[in-house]
Every structure is written in structure tokens, then in C-alpha cells.
Structure 1
């Protein structure tokens, strides 16, 4: 006689679940009658983060189903658990990923049925409300306990590019890659590019020392570290917890396909949290009107000079300077939104992101930046909503000009309809740029493709960046890259025979345009290389480091470019500080008579290094330089 327990019925699974345990039998029967059975094979996805909401919720019945939240947290669903409830409550795209670990069976319940049951059944309504309350409590807890830098997503601070090998590669190959690229972790991936583990120099050293592996053995003979991974949307506070809990120094960053795209190290975490002093933070945050922002804008050079004096580092000072500029602009957006609300125009009718481009997007703003910005609007916006955002943009750009950020000469601004689109239209715009780049578009790309969120929903910006990286894969950006490089080829560098400095006359001085003929060469080159490699970070120094990690540049070349960039940046920054002290308007034209012999040599050597960068571009992209 078979004494095996009888398999639970679907009615029983729902009735015994934590969410639905209070439902009456009639309501459960109504759910089962209205739902449609859905089966998933092992490895299949119910949905992925970013997929459009399908106007239903899913009740898990059988099998092992794993959900990965935007934060990187993973949990396995239990029978009766509701999948996709957040999108039902918000009417928004899915923000998590649900994947079947084994064959799964689910009940798809239409959103219209859920709404009807909420109206007809008090217990059903209360069950949904409990789930909503739990979600709000969790969100509130995070907001109240984690603020500032720790609440930001890891993609803003991660080291882009995680070199990888496969299990069949040799131990010697892995050792060589770690040594040549001076990296602390090497990803091990399967044939599908999914992360299996991390190999460190210590793994290899112990295996070789204990005769557990020989240089010619395969990498899979060395036990890798179990990978602790997060997604680009994971907040830094969760990364900090993972580093501490697992007692590790690196956390891998993976995309939605589990492919490694970067690393968040303990050192990168410290750098993210160790912000330079910014004496204007509190004043900017408390600014009550535009006039207050105008006064604060005038204080920025003094504050930046203080940071430079205390740190003797242009990089640190430029970082502090950029964050003050962006904090001012962020506060201005808040004031404009408040004004529109008080005027009866209401709050923003849809999710949106104000993005900064160019030097702002790279975090490399100096003392007199102009404004390069745009607006990404959620796709679910109607005609009235478009009009609201047009009004907002028409206010934003003149207000930025009023507080000291000049209107962009190339009209790369949110009030220009060409830079104010829904997310879908932005994606289409970038797709056209990649597929059929014109000369003017390629020139604008050197500004537009360095973008980051100033204010609003950063997930819109992240999705646009992911789309751009996807469009550029497989060599599809070759023509765009050639045209971007060709635009720089027209710039005559100020070096003559035997690398002597060549100057031009300006208002009685012999000058060199340090921004256009020096820094720009390196900045633009790193942008092209980084875009080709799918590197999402925009800061030039971080791009150089990532390109070295990926093996695009060798250690010597990367170090040369880093030093040249920092030297040119320091020369330009100190030149502009000197101009402010003299009562002059900051510009990029370095006066030769104001440079010491030592600074002239720094300039000459750095320009020579940037010339090497041009030669590297010519070799890689087949563009003839002038």
C-alpha cells in the first residue's frame, strides 16, 4: 500500500501561503477560475528587469523560481508567492528578474481580475494592502537609514571592465593576465559568458605552492573563489555589507545575463566615500531662490582653490569643483519645480531625468563651464505631459545661464527638442547615430555620449546607456568612431619641429589653447576606445584604468596617458585660478609668459604624450591625422 502523502492541490497551496492564508475558499476558487496556467522550463525567464509590465500578476505553484531584485538580492519563491506584484501596484516596468531554476508552474492572474477581487473581497484587498505596506516599510527603512553616497547605485562607482578567462585556459595564461594588467581579480566564465568564479593571485600562488596545479594545467584545476556578485543598480550600502559579511575585497558586477561587466573593490568603496571637503554643500542645499544661487556660484572658485591648496591635487580639486557645480544645478531644478507647482502647473506628469553631458557628464568641470544638458522622459507621457516638460525646459536653460552657466553654443540643451525626448525616442536617436552618422552628428557625439543624471530617475539614464552599449557591440560603431576621430584630426597640435611649443597671439600674449589642443585629444580618444569596449563610466581617468584592465592599453601606455591628462588638467586649472585672482574671466588660453620653465616643460612633455595618443587612434581607426 502506498503511504506517500497526497500532492497538495492548487487551492491548498494558495490557502496555506503567507500572503493568501486569510482568503475565503470562494475567493481562492475565483482566482483559480480566472487565472491561466503558465509553465516555464528550467533556465527560462518569467520576465527580466526593464521588461514591460504585462498587466497581470503571477502566483507561484510548483518548482524552484528565483527572483533577483534591482539591488542584487536573490530569493527563491515559495508556493503561493506572488511574482510581479510591484509592477501591478505601480503600473510600471518590471524592476526585478524572475528565472526558473527548475521546471515551474505558475498561475497568471489578469490585473483586471485583481482589481475586481480587491473591490469584491475585503480579505483579498487586505492581502494586497499588506504586501503594499511591507514594500513601503522596506523602502522607508532604506531611505531613513541610508542617505547620500551610500544610497547611490554601484554603476556610478564601479571599475568598468572585468577581464575574464575560461576554465580551459591555462594557469600560466591566467597568471600572465593578472600580472600584465596589474589586477587583483580575474573572472572565470562559462561558454555563455556567465560568471562562474573569481581567480586571484593568491588562488594561483597557493595552488602552485601546494603542487595542486602546474602552469600548464587548466584554470579549472584551481579552486576559484565563489563569486559574490551584484547588479549595476545595487546601492553601495548593500555592497558594503557584502564586503564585510563575506570578508572579501572585491564584488563582481554582472549584467542581466550574469556576464561580468565590472568590479566594485574595497578600494573603490573607500574612494567613493572619501569625498573632498566641500564647504558650500549646506549653503547650496538651503538656497531659497535663484539670487542665492547666483551668490554661491561666485564663491565656487574660492572654495575650489581651498581644496586645491589643501590637497595639491588638480584631480581632487576638479572633483570637488564639479560636485559643487552639479549641486548648484540640482538645487536650481528643485526651485524651478517648486515654482511650477505654486503656479498651478502641478508636479511632473511622468518620470524623467535631467542629464548633463560633456564635462559635466564626465565629472571634469572647471571654473567656467557652459551648459550641455538634455531631458529623458518616461514613455508613458501624453501630449499635455510633453507640453509640461517643454515649459520646464524653457525655464531651465535661461535660469542656468542666469546663475552662471552659459548657454551652449551648439544648442545642446533641454529646450532644444533634439535633446528632449522620451526614452524610446532617445534610443531611436542613438540607434540612428550609430547606423548612419553624419559629420555634424559625430561632432555632437563627442559631447552627447558623455551623459549622467543630474536630477530625476537615474534608471532612465542607465537604460539609455545600456541601449547605447548594445548598439555599439560587434563592430557596429566603426563608422561613428571613425567620424569622431576624424573630427579631432582637424585640430593642429601646438608642437613643431623637435617637439617645440608653437603658440598663437592673443591680446598681446603668446598662448596655447590647452583645452582644445591638449586635454581634448586625450579625452576624446578615451571616449572612443571606452565606447568601443562597452565601458559605461565617463570619467577620463577611470576610462584609462578600465582600458588597461581589459588589455586595450599596456601598463606603460596607460600610465603615460594618465600622467599627461593629470598634468594638462593641473596646468589648465591653476591657470584659471590665477585668472580669477587677477580679476579676469577664466579661459583655456594659457599665457606663456605666466608659465615657469618647469611648467613649460610639463606642458611640452604632456602634449607630446597626447600626440602619441593621436598616433594610436590613427593606427586603430585608420584615420589620417593632420
Structure 2
């Protein structure tokens, strides 16, 4: 089997553009290890390289005594590559091993041309998470569905020549929190958000007429349309980002945000628990009955969520749905008593844990 076939059939590089794999194989250096050779050792300084196994197996020995093998088509040295810290484990060859060596500048050069390289890194990270968290609560329900089912489409984008003012107006008119930036061929260059634009203007003195590529574009983290929703959630947690660009066959096709994931989880909860029933309550006794079953909501939220913060948000959304219906029923009761409708549009402001969406089973809302 050729090196190209070996990579393209691996779990990490599957379905990625052949041009990406060709570029890696063309630019990367080959290195051969014989049985027992060390690639790096624990506490050794980062070498400035990342490695891809082309053939054979690398054994990773952790300081706690645990070990695992890395086979063809996967990265070695990923953790230190990401944070530039000394190696936290020892890597040695099991038999003869053929490696593809990518110096960090080369890796970033290839990734700039093929953003899908980030997808391969993310898949490798996800595999490690699954390997070293066997006792973690299993991922079920909506989180095992493909990203394509929940991404926002069409992909909202503009070119790097778009002005800051125009980009902001696009986001405002479409009511979106991020905007993809692409080149003339539609390939992804990065991402822009209102916060980035505000920082460029307010802190760095950028002019509203300046082009995005001059002062705003930030790295976009990507994910594939067939990757599962929990992987998107994990990436957002790992990288501290709110938006992921969904890339298919080298081109951006959609966006998945933290809001999309929370909305999907809320839809799951709505189908199974109480949120949907609150809007159907016909009187305050009905709402009281729903309130008494909040423990069911909490159990369901924990069952379908890997992160306690998301489970807490779903519980809070249930509280808010009950409160919202309570206000509606109160207004209906006042109208039945002969009072007029509210003379103006109004909003109910909730402070404290309710405003932060951190309400638990017995919130102390006034």
C-alpha cells in the first residue's frame, strides 16, 4: 500500500482533500527508526516538529506507567506541538517505523493552504480523549449526531477586501455573531466577529474603511460535516472558541456555534422533558405541577450532556420557560378581569442566577 493510500484510509485523514495529503508527503521529511529507538523522552525540550506515522508503530509511555501504540496515519508529539512545552511522555519505536517529519513552520504553511489539516489534528485529539477517559459518562442522544444536522447554512462569508464597516453591517443585518473570510476561490482564510472589529477600532485605531485582511482576520477552527456534535463541543472547550467552520472537500459549507449546540441540547430536552410543556400550561396549577418535576429535567439534562454547564443551562431554560408562561397567564387573567392590554411592549428582567442561566432545582429568584 502506498503512503498516500495509507494516510487516506486512516481514521485521522479520511475524507480529507488528496491535495492536502500530497502536500504533506511532498514537503515532509522521512525518518526511519529501528526497534527500540527513542523519538523523544519525558521532560525533553520540544523539538519544533510534529510527526506522522507512515508505517509501523510508535509506543507512547506515560509517566503513570500507562502506554499505548500509535499506528500508521496518526500524529506523534501532538501535545508539545500545541503548547511548546517539554514532552510529557516517552515515544519509542516498536519494530521498524517510518515517520513523516513536519517542522512547525512547514505545518503552518500547509495548514494555511489547506485549513482541513486542523480537522486531522482535532480527530487525533478526540481519539486521545476517548482513549484516556474510558470512565467518562457515555455520549448519547443528540451529541452523537453529525455536525451537518445542526450547522448554520448557508455559510456567511465575505472576502478579505471587505471593509470593517461592511463586515459589521453584514453581521448586524443577518443577526449572526461571526463571518467567514474567504479568498477569491472560496477557500477559508479565517473568521471575523463583532468583538474583533470593535477591538481593532477601539484599541488599535483601525479605520472603519480598512479591509478585514489588514487588521482583523483570526484563525478559524474547522470540523467536518460528518464529525459528531460532541467533537465540536469538545473542540470549542479545548480551544476556547465559540464558532467552528464546517469544511467539506476543501470549502467552507457552514458554521456550528456554541449556541447551535446548546439549542440542539435544548431541543433534545424539549422533546423529552418539560420545556415544551410549559408553553402549553393552561393555568398556574399546571405550571406548579411542572415545577414539581424539575428533578426529572435535571436527570435528563445530565444524561444527555457531557458538560455540567450545559446541563445547568437546560435546567435554567426550563425555569425560564415556566416563568415566561407564568407572566403570560397573569396577563390573560388581568384581561379577563376587564383591564386593558399593556400599553407598550415590555420585557421581564431577571437578575442573579436567573440572568446568568445558572438556576438549579430551588433557585432563590424574587
TM-score by length of 1: 0.26
The structure with the largest helix share of the pair is 1
Asked which structure has the greater CA Rg, the reply is 1
